[in-house]
Structure 1
Amino acid sequence: MGWLTAGDRYEVALVEGRVVARSATASAEGKWERSLPAEIRDRPEVIELQRFAEWLDRHAAECAAQVDNWMVSSLPVPTGLLAQVWPDEAWQAALRDIVVVGEAPDEVGFLRDADASDGLRVVNLDGETVRLTAPAITMPHPVLLPGLEELRTFAAELGVVQGVEQIHRATWPTPGETDGGGKDVVTEFEGAEYRSWFHLSARATSLGYRISGSSVVGPVRDAGRIVNAVVGMSDPYTEEKAWTGGLTWSVEGEQRTLPLTEVGPVAWSEGMRMAAALHAGRPVPEDDAQ
């Protein structure tokens, strides 16, 4: 994007997500003002650029959220769709280096390009750039990725930085029959104390979860069904402070709480991730911090 005239003395542009100004004189090329001069802050050119910057931020967040949804749900994504959105920088930032899997289990690689005529270009674990021409691919959740540690090691060697957290996403393995048999609640992360219900709910919504009554809910698609991971909260009407409760799972539309042994690997890992994040966000007293 080029520079726009803003008044008689300045030009403005959007640089790295913020509006910057420079003198309109030819000798000032490449030199920016440290802050927007007061005389142009209310200029329509400046306001429009600021609004455009805000839209770009929202768009980038929406792209990342969609890719995260594809990854967590492990749903098939048409390669033609990826080719359509790839020219958009925000989509590229979210999609680049995500691990994708083609029709065969060994068709695995880090996504580097998408083209309508040539398909997807990926870097496989042999370090070779190959094409995937399958009509659809998946971006598996890390608990479903075979050879996850090998992928992490290879990514470190390549200097891969994913726009959407996938291979380095925190994961938890499902419990065995001995650990989970007969139980339907996880108490590992319960008892996190917040200053108020509003602080706890704000923490939850900032992480992308929703509040339903006195619970934090994280819906997850697992094995073709929607499973809700639920962390209880104390009653906002009877308690001054707030605490997190136990973690349970239930199938969308059903009242029954799932036994831990019936919770799928993705729903389990994402539920534990939610509970751990809520626990980690609690205010820590200074004595404990030391």
Structure 2
Amino acid sequence: MGWLKAGDGHEVALVDGRVAVRATSGRAAGRQLKTLPKALREHPEVDRLRRLSEWLDRHSASCVAQVDAWMVSSLPVPTGLLGRVWPDEAWRSALRDIAVVGDDPDEVGFLRDATESGELRVVNLDGETVRLSPSTVRLPHPVLLPDLEDLREFAAELGLTQRVEQIYRATWRKPDVEELAQAATSVRDFSGGRFSSRFGLAARASSLGYRVSGGYATSQIRDGGRSTEAAVWIGEPYWDGETETGALTWHDQDGRALALREVGPVAWSEGMRMAAALHAGRVMEEDKTS
């Protein structure tokens, strides 16, 4: 978007997502001003640009959220769809450098370009740029990626950055089935995290993107085609005194508690990630020996 006339002697435009102003007359002509003159703060063009900026921010956030949802669920995404949205800067920013898998599940590459015809350009682990034309691709959850550490090292060598947390996402590997008790339905690794108020813990959960429902912070996860909800107890809904994080449990789409042996690898990792993130905000005990 170019510069728009706003009043006498000024033009405005969106620069890096924010309203900028420059003079068009006098000694400062052509120079961008540090602050918006008071006379322009309520100008219609300035107001229009502000509203556009807010919309662009929401659009960018929604693109990141959608790509994150595709990644967490490892859903197949039509390559033609990626090509159609690629020209949009917000979509491109969310998708660029995401690890994708096409027809061969063992061939992982970092997405660099997509065309409307459904052709993708990716950088593989040999450092070569290759073109793929599968009908769909998956954006795998990192716990499902083979040789994740190698992928991380390679991404660091290339200086790749991801808007959607994938390669460097914190992951937890599910223990072998033999290590889990037959009837166990909960994990208490991150229980006992003390908070000064239940309201503060609920606010932390919401700020991290988790839903607060009743006495729980929850995360909806699609794992292996099955919908699973991970839940961490955070205290009675109307209690605002001290509270502690409780056990982590998983439920199927009918609300049935799952045995730990039934929990899929993605649901396990995402549930543990939520529990760990909540626990990290706890009140730290002072070292009384110092």
TM-score, normalised via structure 2 length: 0.94
Q: CA deviation at 1:235?
A: 1.3
Contact 2:23 2:30 in 1 (8 A): no
Q: CA deviation at 1:11?
A: 1.4
Query: 2:226 aligns to what?
Result: 225
Instruction: Give the direction of change, closer, same or farther, for the CA distance of 1:211–1:118 in structure 2 (3 Å limit).
Output: closer
C-alpha deviations, 1:135-186, integer Å up to 9, x for none? 0000100011111111111111111001111110000010224542232111
Letter in 2 for 1:282: R
Comparing 274-283 and 146-155, the one that deviates more? 274-283
Aligned-residue CA RMSD (Å): 1.9
Query: 1:109 aligns to what?
Result: 109
Letter in 2 for 1:230: A
Q: CA deviation at 1:203?
A: 1.3
CA distance in 1, matches of 2:50, 2:65: 23
Letter in 1 for 2:136: A
Query: 2:250 aligns to what?
Result: 249
Letter in 2 for 1:158: L
Q: CA deviation at 1:39?
A: 1.2
SS of the aligned residue for 1:45 comes to helix
Query: 2:154 aligns to what?
Result: 154
Query: 1:64 aligns to what?
Result: 64
Contact 2:4 2:13 in 1 (8 A): yes
SS of the aligned residue for 1:169 comes to coil
Contact 1:118 1:131 in 2 (8 A): no
Percent identity between the aligned chains?
Answer: 59
CA distance in 1, matches of 2:20, 2:105: 49
TM-score, normalised via structure 1 length: 0.94
CA distance in 2, matches of 1:285, 1:2: 55
CA distance in 1, matches of 2:285, 2:153: 37
Instruction: Give the direction of change, closer, same or farther, for the CA distance of 1:152–1:30 in structure 2 (3 Å limit).
Output: farther
Contact 2:142 2:171 in 1 (8 A): yes
Comparing 54-63 and 117-126, the one that deviates more? 117-126
Query: 1:2 aligns to what?
Result: 2
Query: 1:141 aligns to what?
Result: 141
Contact 1:107 1:132 in 2 (8 A): no
Contact 1:83 1:119 in 2 (8 A): yes
Comparing 142-151 and 19-28, the one that deviates more? 19-28
Instruction: Give the direction of change, closer, same or farther, for the CA distance of 1:129–1:27 in structure 2 (3 Å limit).
Output: farther
Runs (5+) with no aligned partner, structure 2: none
Q: CA deviation at 1:281?
A: 2.4
CA distance in 2, matches of 1:254, 1:84: 38
Count of matched residue pairs: 288
Comparing 172-181 and 266-275, the one that deviates more? 172-181
Instruction: Give the direction of change, closer, same or farther, for the CA distance of 1:27–1:109 in structure 2 (3 Å limit).
Output: farther
Letter in 2 for 1:204: A
The residue correspondences of 1:116-131 to structure 2 (distance < 5 A) are 116-117=116-117, 119-131=119-131
Q: CA deviation at 1:32?
A: 2.1
SS of the aligned residue for 2:251 comes to strand
Letter in 2 for 1:242: T
Query: 1:52 aligns to what?
Result: 52
C-alpha deviations, 1:12-68, integer Å up to 9, x for none? 111111111121227535532222111111111111111111111100000000000
Letter in 1 for 2:25: T
Query: 1:191 aligns to what?
Result: 192
SS of the aligned residue for 1:28 comes to coil
Contact 2:80 2:118 in 1 (8 A): no
CA distance in 1, matches of 2:132, 2:30: 43
CA distance in 1, matches of 2:46, 2:286: 44
